[in-house]
Amino acid sequence: MEQDEQLEDWYVRYHSIFGKRYTRKRKDRFLESLSADIRQFRSDVELDTFKLNEKDIVEYKNLYVGDIKKANTIICTYYDTPAAHLGPYQFFNVENRAKNTMMFIFLSSALYIIFGLFFTWKVAVPVFQTNTLVSILSLLCILFYVLYFYFLKSVARGWPNKHNLIRNTSSVLAQLYCTKQFKNKKLAFAFLDAGCTNNAGLEKVMGQSDAVICMLDSIGSEKDLYQVMSNRKLAISSNSVEAVVTTDITNDRLLYVISGSKEKDHFILSKKELQQNQLSDTNMNEVLHFLEQLVGRNSK
């Protein structure tokens, strides 16, 4: 990826300013900025708002560039960022990710509640027993409880992870760059919602198209690059991106490009690797070259 002013601007914006994309409000701000950036050089941008079913109260949003219904190749990545969690990131295992996140929420909530009980026992009770309700100490205790219960909701919902450059801002930046560089009527791009939770965005786009879906995930780490699929026919000949066929991916139109460590039949990124604050230029460039090959093959 050539280092120009626009790329540097995107890096600062989506790593520093919009680096956390956990709540709906933060995700919407990100999408507004991303749409504005892409509309500077393309007009075929569409926001798709949807729910998993009519009774669902959760609203999801995908951003498409190009016509996904006419494309034979769709390059995708998820734009949301995860909650803080225990353990490494295990690719393709939604249940494992949910378990690690819920365990972190449980432990942090328990510690938070214990802290509140300790404050009540050691501070609040003695203050309220020896002071009137309108005294300064009593008012400070009341203020503490207002703030305490305000933040309790956030703790129970999960803390946004603050280290998101590898997962998944690196993939967002690579795909954003591709939307400008790759112009092809048979190619579309999708920035997907809920990649850190239930893959609702990915399921939505796969139901709207019969195209080959290339999904980028955490490509900016220093670890090896892999192209992972269930259908060997999707593989691209590459010396830098190793092809792996696995039953972890159930759809034969879906090709993942990831960077990680292969352990037996699974791929992971450790907490240390997830917290890296610098992209691997080598991996970013290799992925762009890989995508050029993919688009060239599928456009024939």
Band of pLDDT at residue 54, cut at 50, 70 and 90 = confident
pLDDT of 275 above 90: yes
Residue type, position 219, single letter: I
Using DSSP bridges, classify how beta strands 73-78 and 187-192 pair: parallel, antiparallel or unpaired: parallel
Provide the mean pLDDT of the chain.
Answer: 92
Q: What is the pLDDT of residue 205?
A: 96
pLDDT (tens digit, 9 = 90+) per residue, 102-113? 888 899 899 999
pLDDT (tens digit, 9 = 90+) per residue, 148-201? 998 888 888 888 899 999 999 999 999 999 999 998 889 999 999 999 999 999
pLDDT (tens digit, 9 = 90+) per residue, 209-252? 999 999 999 999 999 999 999 999 999 999 999 999 999 998 99
pLDDT of 15 above 60: yes
Q: How big is the CA angle at 221 (ends 215 and 225), to the nearest 5 degrees?
A: 55
Band of pLDDT at residue 255, cut at 50, 70 and 90 = very high
Band of pLDDT at residue 75, cut at 50, 70 and 90 = very high
Q: Read off the pTM.
A: 0.91
What are the helix (H) ranges across the chain? 5-12, 24-38, 94-119, 125-130, 136-157, 170-181, 200-208, 271-274, 281-298
Q: Which two tokens stand for residue 116?
A: 């509140």
Q: Which two tokens stand for residue 291?
A: 């995508």
pLDDT (tens digit, 9 = 90+) per residue, 121-131? 999 999 999 98
Residues 87, 270: contact at Cβ < 8 Å?
no
Question: Of all residues in the chain, what percent carry a pLDDT higher than 70?
Answer: 98
pLDDT of 87 above 70: yes
Band of pLDDT at residue 25, cut at 50, 70 and 90 = very high
Band of pLDDT at residue 58, cut at 50, 70 and 90 = confident
